[in-house]
Chains A and B, each alone.
Chain A
Amino acid sequence: MPYKYIEDKFIADVAFEAWGGTREELFMAASDATAGLMVENLKNIENINENSENKIIELKETEIDMLLFDVLQELIFFKDAYQLICRFRNVKITSENKRIVFKGTAVGEKIDYKKHNLAVDVKAVTLHEFKVQYSNNLWKAHVVLDI
């Protein structure tokens, strides 16, 4: 699991650190850390089948941190707008005219109280201590979510 929740600092909200060898891995890990707060058994969503719902996402930003902010915010939007808990697949991050482009497929399942152990309603990604860094061949993010 390329992410960990930070337990003792942010009392009312939830913070996590996510990491990956590539930007794609980092974005997928941070997405799972976010979705993993909404459902306790995220692995249930791993079994993608004919009932899964796909949303193709393309987002552009000049800064990598704000691109991650937008991607995580999309997951929260899907939860409220379509009652979908999603994980990202086929993620590609490229550059285009000085902008960074995220392309990916959000694969999700409709919230099912019998199947998914629902946890908490994530309200928003905050920018408090929000960070994306690259060092020692590792991409890392620090994120605080409003609960």
Chain B
Amino acid sequence: MRPPELIKISPVIWELPVSYKTGMRVPARIYATEKLIDQMDSGVFDQVSNVAMLPGIVNYSFCMPDGHWGYGFPIGGVAAMDTDDGVISPGGIGFDINCGMRLMLTSLTYDELKPKLHKLVDKLFNNVPTGVGEKSRYAISKSDFRKVMINGSRWCIENGFGWQEDLLRTEETGCIDGADPSKVSDKAVERGYHQLGTLGSGNHYLEIQVVKRESIFDAKTAESIGIFPDQVVIMFHCGSRGFGHQIATDYLRVFLKAMPEYGISVPDRELACAPFRSGVGQDYFSAMKCAINMSFANRQMIAHQVREVFADVFGVSAIRLSIHQVYDIAHNTAKLEYHDVNGVRKRLLVHRKGSTRAFGPDMEGIPQEYKKTGQPVIIGGSMETGSYLLSGVKSGKQTFYSTTHGSGRVMSRKQARKQFRGKELQMRMEKEGIYTRSVSYGGLAEEAGKAYKNIDDVIDAASMAGISHPIVKFLPVGNIKG
């Protein structure tokens, strides 16, 4: 239910003024069409306005078109903080630090895939560890894991788990500087050191998708990336697993205790925060970077396993199958970036929780090969409806170059379980040409397409608002889930 104070700024931008709630330092802006704004739950308006109260927030508290009720921040929340007097908040990043998406191409066409689809999905399901508490196939020592914390995907490439070019096509080249393992608890290491190369569960998945000719919206850019009609591509979604979850939990407690010392009070304990420049703020930032690097490495190890499975099933090498990575980009993170604020270039700490960075053409920090097109933005939809590749655009400046990250749920997990039966859903999807394997029928039911907003509506809103540009939509044909 939209609040009466909500002001329509444009057909896709809505604003809650600072008068909406006592303590708001900046207005809140929500990106949505009329249809999407009506689908948003009351939690979005409450939480996006709570975020507007955080010290040092610049311009606006944002919520993206896929926004929905979260904890602390809404999912889809974006907040840029002044690095001199602003805060850092684990709740603005999420427990799954650096959760993100990776997209890989193949030279295969759908016709070439079809006879081997079941074998391929079955083998991916058997080889990529998936589901509750699942362990890595690789025996990685705690000492090696320490190297992963510092070097991220680079550690994987140095140890033969990927190609050098993968690094160039990963945000931060797969390794963010400044990670400090001494700021990470033993508990976090114990929880996550054996989870490298695992998918997890919930909305985490690995999908085989197909490009339909009619779903290519920008043929020139698609071609420049190596995308062609009827092509088979691979997309997956996962994060920093138990390691990142524990770091976020550890620092949530630290920040709760530290807040009175800095005279900070928040309307929701999940917004616990500390000044970015403070000791605890910097400790968390350094620990969080370890989780960022672990997450890049986790997806790199999955990419390696995917290449092995494709090579085995098709009987030719991954190189001959041209399994090149398009990009790897996170949607749960806080990063230091330079942005124009009222004509002044400022260094800001941009929190994105369920929002993807979408740097426009020519911006620093994106691979040379994407300088003309803008940064690739990978948007995972529901397992029934499809996913998108977008690019960043110059007009993305309005949201500190942030856009949507997925479809956004409209139905709770428990409601979805009541409404759908996992086994029936699996059979129906197979009739529709999507072969799915999951360790949990209940978990599968929770991820039914109808539990999510229409991905096309979300992408339309992001495109109309000028925060990203659609290149191509991918349709799922195979899926593995935890």
Residue ranges of A at the interface with B (Cβ–Cβ < 8 Å): 5-14, 38-40, 66, 73, 76-77, 79-81, 83-85, 111, 113, 117-121, 123-130, 144, 146-147
- The bracket for how many chain B residues form the interface is 35 or more
Q: Contact between A7 and B132 (Cβ–Cβ < 8 Å)?
A: no
Q: How many A-B residue pairs have CB under 8 A?
A: 140
Sample 6 A-B pairs with CB under 8 A, ordered by A number. A11-B41, A14-B414, A79-B133, A119-B442, A126-B95, A127-B71
Which of B72, B191, B439 is in CB contact (< 8 Å) with A128?
Answer: B72
Would you call B269 and A127 a contact (CB within 8 A)?
A: yes
Which of A79, A81, A83, A123 is within 8 Å of B95, CB to CB?
A: A123
Given known A7-B414, A11-B68, A128-B270, contact A118–B249 (CB-CB < 8 A): no
In whole angstroms, what is the CA distance A117 to B410 when docked? 26
**How far apart are the CA atoms of A121 and B401 in the complex, in Å?**
31
Residue of B nearest to A146 (CB): B95
Known: A80-B133, A124-B245, A144-B71. A5 touches B414 (CB 8 A): yes
CA distance A11 to B306 in the complex (A): 31
Closest to A78 in B: B133
A8 to B441, CA, bound (A): 21
Query: A127–B272 contact, CB under 8 A?
Result: yes
Q: Once the chains are docked, how many angstroms separate the CA of A129 from the CA of B253?
A: 15
Pick from A6, A13, A39, A121: contact of B71, CB under 8 Å: A13
A131 to chain B, nearest CB (A): 10
Q: With a 10 A CB-CB cut-off, give which of B72, B187, B200, B413 has the most chain A CB atoms.
A: B413
Counting CB contacts under 8 A, is B131 at the interface? yes
The 4 closest A-B CB pairs, nearest first, are A80-B242, A128-B71, A127-B269, A121-B201
Report which of A12, A81, A113 forms a contact with B69, defined as CB distance below 8 A.
A12
Contact among A13, A84, A113, A128 with B268 in the assembled complex (CB-CB below 8 Å): A128
Asked if B409 CB lies within 8 Å of chain A CBs, one says yes
Residue B164 at the chain A interface, CB threshold 8 Å: no
Judge whether A124 and B248 touch: CB under 8 Å: yes
Interface centre among B43, B71, B203, B415 (most CB of A within 10 A): B71
User: What is the distance, in angstroms, from A100's C-beta to the closest C-beta of chain B?
Assistant: 16
Nearest-neighbor residue (CB-CB) of A121 within chain B: B201
Measured in the bound complex, the distance between the Cα atoms of B200 and A111 in whole Å is 14
- Whether the Cβ atoms of B412 and A121 lie closer than 8 Å is no
> B443 at interface (Cβ–Cβ under 8 A)?
yes
* A130 engages B269 (CB within 8 Å): yes
Contact of B252 among A10, A11, A118, A127 (CB under 8 A): A127
Q: A66 to B242, alpha carbons, bound, how many Å?
A: 20
Known A66-B253, A124-B249; further 9 A-B contacts with Cβ < 8 A: A5-B414, A7-B418, A10-B412, A81-B190, A81-B191, A123-B242, A127-B71, A128-B70, A130-B269
Given A120-B443, A127-B269, also A12-B70 (CB < 8 A): yes
Q: Tell me whether B15 is interfacial, beta carbon within 8 Å.
A: no
Interface residue B135 (Cβ < 8 Å from any Cβ of A): yes
Smallest distance from the beta carbon of A29 to chain B beta carbons, Å?
Answer: 18
A23 to chain B, nearest CB (A): 21
Q: What separation, in Å, do the CA atoms of A130 and B242 have in the docked complex?
A: 21
* Docked-complex contact A126 and B270, CB < 8 angstroms: yes
A9 to B201, CA, bound (A): 21
Contact A118 B245 (CB under 8 A): no
> A120-B440, A128-B269 are contacts. A80–B192 as well, Cβ < 8 Å?
yes
Please pick, from B41, B246, B413, the residue contacting A77 in the complex, using a CB distance under 8 A.
Answer: B246
Interchain CB contact under 8 A, B71 and A9: no
Q: How far is the CA of A120 from the CA of B256 in the complex (A)?
A: 28
Is B202 an interface residue when CB atoms closer than 8 A count as contact? yes
Is B241 at the interface (CB under 8 A from chain A)? yes
Within 8 A of A (CB), among B121-148: 131-135
Nearest-neighbor residue (CB-CB) of A80 within chain B: B242
Shortest distance between the CB of A118 and any CB in chain B (Å): 4
